[in-house]
Amino acid sequence: MVRYITFAIILQLFISCSNNNTNEQSPNVIFINIDDMGWNDVSFMGSQYYDTPNIDALAADAMVFTQGYAASANCAPSRASINTGKWTTRHQIYTVSNSDRGASKDRKLIPIKNTTLLSKEFPVIAQKLKASGYVTCHSGKWHLSKDPLKYGFDVNIAGGHQGAPGSYYPPYGNKNNRVDIQSKEGNYLTDVIMDQTLSFLDKVEEPFFLHYTPYAVHTPIHKVDSLMSKYVDKAPYKGQKNPEYATMIDNLDRNIGHLIKKLKDRNLFENALIIFTSDNGGYYGKITKQKPLRAGKGSYYEGGIRVPFFFHWKGKIPNGLNDKTPISHLDIFPTIMEAVGDHSMDNEFDGNSILNSLTNGTVVTERALFWHFPIYLQGYDIKENENRDSLFRTRPGSVVRKGDWKLHYYFEDNEVELYNLIEDVGEQNDLSKINATKTNQLLNELKNWWVDTNAPIPTQRNPDYVASKIN
């Protein structure tokens, strides 16, 4: 059972924290990490189907990175990398549960064993901020262990090891898959979590860290009845046409509006560093699409790893700016540490602080970004997908993005794909055979990175494998 701290105890906690020698100018830090929200699932990124006015208003007063990347194409590894600032090759969380997802006869290799719990050897954001005098609150999906309170959080609202609710309506699942939170009958889970988050904000004193990571808009797709009439007859936009999913996004946006209003009402907004992103790309198929990006969650094509991403800090970060420089989830932790004046881990991150670029307008230094996925992740819809083949969202492989170029490498057959993302963001035109020089250059960088990070490489053949023609 996930442990909870009562607000009476929390108040004492606040008082004690207020006596710490904390810099009065230390910003409040609010990290908003939406579950499975695609790059184009918000109207500020161009969607004409989803309605997200509150998120849009925040983005309009922020610096938006149009080429922001998730650390992984699915939930748990991405969250582990965000909270540690480390490549997946360090913590070795690559997926949820087992690494051999998909029929054994279709898997040519024995995948690398997956890790399911975030090791305590890695310092995480909440621990570092708590040590600096911050009150720390987790709200929503945690997914890295049973109890976020053991990872530096003072308060836990609904966080556990589960990756999704059994239902968005009470009792929020069954005994084997239930979000542990109390509510009134009929209350939608996203609303309940926000209500308790606002109660935390009603009492907290500065400085504080809010790790707001709602379960929405992860499956199951459960509509918000009061919003259905708004979308049921709305014209589709680039494959986005699911009204039930649209109500989940709309409701989430309204809750973020409540969050911002509470911050403003308590005069906590002015000195708040707010980071907004999604843990991975959006679903592909009947739920949503990210055109012109290819594929979706679970794939290492752009639709699976490119996400909405912005930084807001009133008076410190210039507003209304879009930056096309690629950045990564791994940059979040070091950026927060620099913002609060803590340089104790400067040499331990795999990401980079981009604070100077955010506050002074300097160009973010481009560098290679890497992804490593030495396992299998099964496909969901054989008929409607944009994956390399219909059986898997991805097969074991690695990816490198540097400059305009992106290279995919697949361990089963040592095959590669090369794309110029500036000319071909939809990754339709493989240039690996046409541009051998660039292919070899990126492949060498990728192999050097494997060595530098001690990346596990699957090589053992699967005796159950049956060669067959796949689409």
The pLDDT assigned to 16 comes to 42
The pLDDT assigned to 11 comes to 40
| Distance in angstroms (rounded) separating the CA atoms of residues 410 and 397 | 4
Confidence of residue 380 (pLDDT cuts 50, 70, 90): confident
**Span 305-363, pLDDT tens digits:** 999 999 999 999 998 889 999 999 999 999 999 999 999 999 999 999 999 999 998 87
Confidence of residue 470 (pLDDT cuts 50, 70, 90): low
CB-count burial class (<10 Å; 0-12, 13-18, 19+) for 318:
middle
Mean pLDDT value of segment 3-16:
42
Percent of the residues in the chain that have a pLDDT greater than 90, as a whole number: 87
The pLDDT assigned to 361 comes to 80
Mean pLDDT value of segment 193-210:
96
The CATH class of 14-86+122-361 is alpha beta
**Span 419-434, pLDDT tens digits:** 999 999 999 999 999 9
With 90 as the cut, is the pLDDT of residue 111 above it? Answer: yes
Q: Which of 122, 62, 127, 13 is nearest to 276 (CA)?
A: 62
Q: Hey, what are 321's tokens?
A: 């700016």
**Contacts with 283 (C-beta within 8 Å, 6 or more apart), sequence order:** 36, 38, 219, 296, 297
Confidence of residue 383 (pLDDT cuts 50, 70, 90): confident
Mean pLDDT value of segment 14-27:
52
With 90 as the cut, is the pLDDT of residue 253 above it? Answer: yes
Mean pLDDT value of segment 153-178:
93
With 70 as the cut, is the pLDDT of residue 93 above it? Answer: yes
The pLDDT assigned to 22 comes to 43
CATH label, 365-471, candidates 1.10.357.10, 3.60.21.10, 3.30.1120.10, 3.30.70.360: 3.30.1120.10
With 60 as the cut, is the pLDDT of residue 258 above it? Answer: yes
Q: Hey, what are 291's tokens?
A: 């055109």
With 80 as the cut, is the pLDDT of residue 448 above it? Answer: yes
With 70 as the cut, is the pLDDT of residue 460 above it? Answer: yes
Phi and psi torsions of 103, nearest 5°: -60, 135
Confidence of residue 8 (pLDDT cuts 50, 70, 90): very low
For the whole model, what pTM was predicted? 0.94
Asked if residue 421 lies in contact with residue 327, where contact means CB atoms within 8 angstroms, the answer is no
- 397: β partners: 373, 410
Torsional sign, CA 149, 152, 158, 163:
negative
With 50 as the cut, is the pLDDT of residue 20 above it? Answer: no
Largest CA distance in the chain: 67
| Distance in angstroms (rounded) separating the CA atoms of residues 62 and 416 | 37
**Span 178-200, pLDDT tens digits:** 899 988 777 999 999 999 999 99
**How does the average pLDDT of the chain come out, rounded?**
93
Q: Domain spans of the chain?
A: 14-86+122-361, 365-471
- 33: β partners: 277
With 70 as the cut, is the pLDDT of residue 103 above it? Answer: yes
